[in-house]
Amino acid sequence: MSEAAMQNRLFIPRSCLTTEGNKTGSWRFLRPRYEDKTAPCAAGCPAGEDIPKIEMLTAQGFFKEAWETILQENPFPAVCGRVCFHPCEGSCNRGEYDDSVAVHTLERFLSDTAARYDFRPSFARLPSRKERISVVGAGPAGLAAAWFLTLLGYSCDVFEASPEAGGVLRWGIPAYRLPADALRQDLRRFEREGIRIFTRRPMDRQFFAEAAGRYQAVILACGHGRGQSLSIPGEMEVGVIEGLDFLRMIRASEMAVGGGTEAVIVNGAGCGRSMDTLGEGEAAAEGSEFPGKIGEGALSSFDGLTAVIGGGNTAVDVARSVIRLGGKAVICYRRRRQDMPAFADEVRMALEEGVALEGLVSPAAAGRDGEEIVLSLRQMIVAGMEGSGRARVIPDGDKMKEVRVRRVIRATGAGPEESWMLPAVEGTKVLALSHCRLVSGEGKLVVVYAGDLANATKSVAHAIASGKEAAIALNALLREGSEAVIPRLQACAVGDGPALSMEVCLGGERRLRSRHIVSYTEINTDHFGFAPRITQPRLLVEERVRSFAEIDLKISAGLAMKEAERCFNCGLCNGCDKCWLYCPDVAVIREGEARRIHYDYCKGCGICVVECPRNAMSLGEGEGEG
Amino acid sequence: MRRVIEGSHAVAEAVRLARVQVTSAYPITPQTHIVEILSEYCEKGALKARFLRMESEHSCLAALIGAQLMGVRTFTATSSQGLAYMHELLHWAAGARLPIVMAEVNRALAPGWNIWTDQTDSLSQRDTGWIQLYCEDGQEVLDSTLLAFRLAETVNLPVMVVLDAFYLSHTYEPVDIPTEEEADRFLPPYAPRFRMDTAEPCSFGALVPPGDYMEMRHDMALAMEDALMQLVEIEGEFTRIFGRRHGPIEAIDCNDAEIILVTSGTITSTARLVVRTLRERGEKIGLLKIRLFRPFPTAILRETIGRAKKVAVIDRNCSFGAGGIFAQELRAALCNLDPRPLIYGYIAGLGGRDVTPEVIEEIYRRTQSTDRPEAEGVWIGLREAL
């Protein structure tokens, strides 16, 4: 044995100098970078809400900031938290993992929280401009347009025919889905932002002549408020009631209850009366069958069976309202249940509440037999499928059936009050966009058709999308000319569009995000665990059918945070620091909330990018950007 | 306390008694039983160690290199492809002078895919700077593993405790398991001679220029040489506590033997039977078991078998183009002796094929009946036609 070994020598390399002199970043071929991307929910939201950010802030307990994030893209969180059909949840990546995030429930929670603490939002807003814009119709589209134009610096006047603002939100959607208080919660902000809403100001041709002198543009968003006739023999004779009128009458009764001043009586035999006459105290007393003063409980005659014709949300709203008024309802629809355009959840709840559904029948004639109406229904059969996935139906030979009902309410689609409200389809001065139509008319007045007048899909979210598109397009047109409209819209697109972002339009941070829509396969699910989706608490069926009280109940902050934590935050860095934790070269630097890569030492192994649970990082060649 | 346990469990018992603080695991047959038991021990608290489930054997050893540098006692186990995958880090662990202990269950390398015993996996790591101990039975597995920690920590080199797949890893035998008090008496807590400390930041294993590298490597070589004497000394202490000694080698009837069989691992047990039987018939046969392969006990071997006429080495391994690896090592060890025995190399039992008493006797007879080795490595027991 050598002496050295006997002494058990240990000669090893050990250095107390820093290794920072070895700039291993020079070995790099691929370069990771932080790159926020677009979440599928945000692109799927017609209003383009920044949902991953909303849920991130909610999970972190920043409820006000989360609520303000909604408001940047949508002035109606209290409304949409209740009535939106939440296409976001349908495109949620988490849906492929266990169950989609309850974005809808969380939006409602944030609006409840904002109301509870009376949050006052702060906004990015451009300096005032000289142009004035007039908006016709205080429904979701018109109000959204006014809201976004205000943020863009324009002063807006809104003209509304009925006694209160809200349009379909106020008069069309039943209170059990959208109570008036919830709507007022959103509407109050319009006043605070200086948007003037003139009610009881019906629209006519004369308006344009006057508007041309005072406004640079008119946003025409007066909706589809006039129901379409069934065009069957006996329709007029038996007094088929228009569904929208029926819903309007019920909502108007809240004014009678609330204010106690305006008696509301609806003419049951007519085909609808425009709201400019409603609520004026004018009594249309000849509504022989129909009860007046619903709000005061004069409903004794509303018994027996009511047939509701149609398969959309209006039909379901009508049928569920009939149940709440103490009657019975059967929905007669020409296709099958799964083909109904109404939201599936609404149909399910309607059936729970006792609404009957008669599928594959089409009304053929109506006749009166004493107190009852005999409704003849043509039986239909499925004869293949349409491109949209709905069944195509044809009459089943001559097969007929009859139902005896006390009244018939139709909900088979609607159109504008006046035909001239429909936009021109084409022409040199017509610019047809996804959700609105710009027409540069004679003189300088620009007319923008928005909302149901220009939307293929008639939903609240699409109406808001229309208002936003109208505002951004109009701004581009007024500032830079018609050539700029399309490029400006494209620059504000969320993902592939057509959803648009006002934050991007106003130059906010969201403009830095990649348009790439994060797919489920790009989520590193190793960093997540299965967690059950929150169940929306609701009134019991027994409670529901007795009143128009709101069905969906509030949730606690604890439950909301837990649900928000389920969000993958697709494409959005939430500071989880997995990159920092996994970087083998200690090349991720944390500076407060921000993270950056120290490229002197990053070897480009890409582990950070792979480990990023939410695809908020990218790996690429080149040393250029980011 | 004597209990009937698997060879794998004998390893695990020793690791428990050694109070290992970090163990890493990646499953591979036939090693998996070892880490399975350890995971149970960690779960139940019988072993207060951090059990790291890694994504590969490469990471298993990398994790232990990091852990051992922090000054804790570490252990892992692997086999075959897993060991091959660790190759780069085997060099690193030894060069960094980290006393990591590993159980290596000998398994054939693929392809063809084969999970049975074969020494080529561990022997092809002979130049990595790891001490290697080859075990014959369950008791020796337990004793060698416990001793390995003491030996490794004394010379600051990692130790590989090698056992045959199935014949040893999955075979139940009576094994005397020391008490914790006895084990603690033999193996004190790890006292690292160097460790990472965030209070005094420094890096280990950094750049070493030509002016120092050789000295560093020479130091390693000296430590490896020293390991033989340290083993003998440590085993002396082991014997005082536990009453057992296995030695770097074991010689049976070698003093007057004309032909000495050289074996390692479980083949030794079979060879003991053959030697006893042939001795009863008056044959001058001896048996030498090699337990310590690295460092290779050259001096002891020269002394023990240098006077024999013929030495027949049974290799359950093959270095292609150079025959059996134990035979090569023995040739090298004895070549400067004069006179020296003839070295007969036999390759048998690859990929788990049984080496029966008949096979061993055939080897003896062939050695006896030929004046000179037929080849550097004679393959025994090949099927005649495929």
A209 pLDDT more than 90: no
Nearest CB among B155, B212, B222 relative to A4 is that of B222
Region A537-557: what's the mean pLDDT?
93
Pick the CATH number of A24-36+573-620 from 3.40.50.300, 3.40.250.10, 3.40.50.970, 3.30.70.20: 3.30.70.20
Best interface-test mutation with A: which of B197, B217, B226 has the largest number of A CBs within 10 A?
B226
The pLDDT value recorded for residue A21 is 86
Q: Where are the alpha helices (DSSP H) in A280-407?
A: 313-324, 344-352
Token pair 């509504």 is at which residue?
A: A287
Query: Could you report the per-residue pLDDT of A383-402, keeping only the tens digit for each?
Result: 999 888 888 999 998 999 99
Complete DSSP assignment for B91-140: HHHHHTT---EEEEEE-PPSSSP--S--THHHHTTGGGS-EEEE--SHHH
Residues of B whose CB is below 8 A from A10: 97, 156, 193-194, 219, 223
A17-26, A71-80, B11-20: segment of lowest average pLDDT = A17-26
B-interface mutation test, from A15, A22, A24, most B Cβ less than 10 A away: A15
Other CB atoms within 10 A of residue A262 CB: 16
**Are B207 and A13 inside 8 Å of each other by CB?**
yes
End-to-end CA distance of chain A: 61
Calpha distance A177→A317 (Å, rounded): 9
Instruction: List phi, psi (to 5°) of A53.
Output: -75, -40
Of all residues in chain A, the one with the smallest CA distance to B199 is A16
Q: Which CATH class is domain A40-122+515-565?
A: mainly alpha
Highest mean pLDDT among A267-276, A289-298, A375-384: A375-384
Q: What is the pLDDT of residues B272-306, one digit of tens each?
A: 999 999 999 999 999 999 999 999 999 999 999 98
Closest Cα in chain B, distance from residue A16 (Å): 4
CA distance to A178, A226, B160, B340, per residue, from A49 (Å)? 20, 31, 61, 89
| In the predicted structure, residue A7 carries a pLDDT above the cut 70 | no
pLDDT tens digit sequence for B131-170: 999 999 999 999 999 999 999 999 999 999 999 999 999 9
Buried b (16+ CB within 10 A) or exposed e, B84-107: bbbeebbebbbbbbbbbbbbbbbb
pLDDT for position A17: 86
pLDDT for the residue numbered A297? 45
List chain A residues with CB under 8 Å of B206.
Answer: 13-15, 19
Which residues from B are below 8 Å from A1, CB to CB?
225-226, 229
Separation in Å, CA of B221 to nearest CA in chain A: 9
Question: Kindly report the CA angle at B163 between B158 and B164, in degrees rounded to 5?
Answer: 145
The alpha-carbon gap from A484 to the nearest alpha carbon of chain B, in Å, equals 55
| B58 near A CB under 8 A | no
Residue A236 has pLDDT above 90, yes or no: no
Query: Which residue in chain A has the smallest CA separation from B219?
Result: A11
Which SS3 state, helix, strand or coil, does residue B147 take? helix
Query: Picking from A3-12, A126-135, A532-541, which range would have the lowest pLDDT averaged per residue?
Result: A3-12
Instruction: Compute how many other C-beta atoms are within 10 angstroms of the C-beta atom of residue A396.
Output: 15
Yes or no, beta carbons of B204 and A13 under 8 Å apart: yes
The CATH architecture that domain A132-225+416-512 belongs to is 3-Layer(bba) Sandwich (3.50)
pLDDT exceeds cutoff 80 at A287: no
Per CATH, domain B2-242 is 3.40.50.970? yes
Indicate the fold that domain B250-379 takes in CATH. Rossmann fold (3.40.50)
Mutate to test the interface with A, among B58, B208, B222 (most CBs of A within 10 A): B222
Does B155 contact A at CB distance below 8 Å?
Answer: yes
Contact B206 A13 (CB under 8 A): yes
Residues A13, B208: C-beta atoms closer than 8 Å: yes
Q: Which residues of A touch B154 (CB under 8 A)?
A: 8
Arithmetic mean of pLDDT, A407-420: 84
Q: Judge whether residue A436 has pLDDT over 90.
A: no
Average pLDDT score over residue span A474-493: 92
Report yes or no: B358 at the A interface, CB cutoff 8 Å: no
Domain ranges, ordered by start, for chain A:
24-36+573-620, 40-122+515-565, 132-225+416-512, 227-413
Chain B, nearest residue to A11 by Cα: B216
Percent share of chain A, pLDDT over 90: 64
- A458 has pLDDT over 70: yes
Q: Could you tell me how many CB contacts below 8 A there are between chain A and chain B?
A: 55
Whether residues A12 and B204 touch (CB distance < 8 A) is answered with yes
Instruction: Calculate mean pLDDT across residues B67-90.
Output: 98
Q: How far is A584 from chain B (nearest CA, A)?
A: 13
Name beta bridge partners: B315.
Answer: B347
Contact A2 B201 (CB under 8 A): no
Confidence category of residue A530, pLDDT binned at 50, 70, 90: very high
Whose tokens are 């999308």? That residue is A465
| A569: closest CA of chain B, how far (Å) | 27
Instruction: Between A494 and A434, name the one with better pLDDT.
Output: A494
Which residue in the set A1, A14, A16 is minimally distant from B225, CB to CB?
Answer: A1
Distance from CA of A602 to the nearest CA of B (A): 19
What distance in Å separates the CA atoms of residue B54 and residue B45, rounded to the nearest whole number? Answer: 20
Judged by a CB distance cut-off of 8 A, whether residue A1 touches chain B is yes
**pLDDT number for residue A288:** 30
What is the least distance, in Å, from the CA of A4 to any CA of chain B? 7
Q: How confident is the model at residue A205 (pLDDT cuts 50, 70, 90)?
A: confident
In the CATH hierarchy, which top-level class contains the domain A227-413? alpha beta
Give residue A350's pLDDT band: very low, low, confident or very high (50, 70, 90): very high
From CA A88, how far away is CA A103, in angstroms rounded? 7
User: Which percentage of chain B shows pLDDT scores above 90?
Assistant: 96
Q: Which of B190, B23, B8 is nearest to B99 (CA)?
A: B190
Indicate which of A1, A7, A11 best probes the interface with B, i.e. most B CBs within 10 Å of its own CB: A11
Which one, of A13, A10, A17, lies nearest residue B207 by Cα? A13
User: Å from A623 to nearest chain B CA?
Assistant: 29
The answer to whether residue A282 scores a pLDDT higher than 50 is: no
The predicted-structure confidence for B228-280, as pLDDT tens digits, reads as follows 999 999 999 999 999 999 999 999 999 999 999 999 999 999 999 999 999 99
Interface of B with A in 227-256 (CB under 8 A): 229
Domain ranges of chain B: 2-242, 250-379
Nearest of A177, A146, A148 to residue A84 by alpha carbon: A177
Of the spans A222-231, A236-245, A415-424, which averages the highest pLDDT? A236-245
Q: What is the largest CA-CA distance in chain A?
A: 124
Spatial distance between the Cα atoms of A487 and B382, rounded to a whole number of angstroms:
80
For residue B99, pLDDT beyond 60: yes
Asked if B25 and B54 count as a contact pair (C-beta separation under 8 A), the reply is yes
A252 has pLDDT over 70? yes
Residue type, A89: E
Q: Summarize pLDDT for A604-625 with one digit per residue, the tens.
A: 999 999 999 999 999 998 765 4
ipTM of predicted assembly, 2 dp:
0.81
The residue-averaged pLDDT of A414-437 equals: 75
Residue from the list A11, A15, A16 with its beta carbon closest to the beta carbon of B215: A11
For residue B212, the distance in angstroms to the closest alpha carbon of chain A comes to 9
End-to-end CA distance of chain B: 50
In the stretch 65-94 of chain B, residues with CB closer than 8 A to chain A read none
Rounded Cα distance between B36 and A272, Å, is 78
- Give A 11-50 residues with CB within 8 A of chain B: 11-16, 19
State the smallest CA–CA distance between residue B31 and chain A in angstroms.
27
If one compares A56 and B384, the residue with the highest pLDDT of the two is A56
Please check whether residue B200 touches A, CB under 8 A: yes
Pairwise CB contact (< 8 Å): A15 & B206: yes
Please report which confidence band the pLDDT of residue A428 belongs to, taking 50, 70 and 90 as the band edges: low
Which residues from chain B sit within 8 angstroms of residue A15, using beta carbons? 202-203, 206
Residues 6+ apart with CB under 8 A from A14: B194, B202, B203, B204, B206
How does the average pLDDT of chain A come out, rounded?
87
Higher pLDDT, A408 or A440: A408
pLDDT tens column, A49-80 = 999 999 999 999 999 999 999 999 999 999 99
A132-225+416-512 and A227-413: identical CATH topology: yes
Q: Give CA A66 to chain center in angstroms.
A: 17
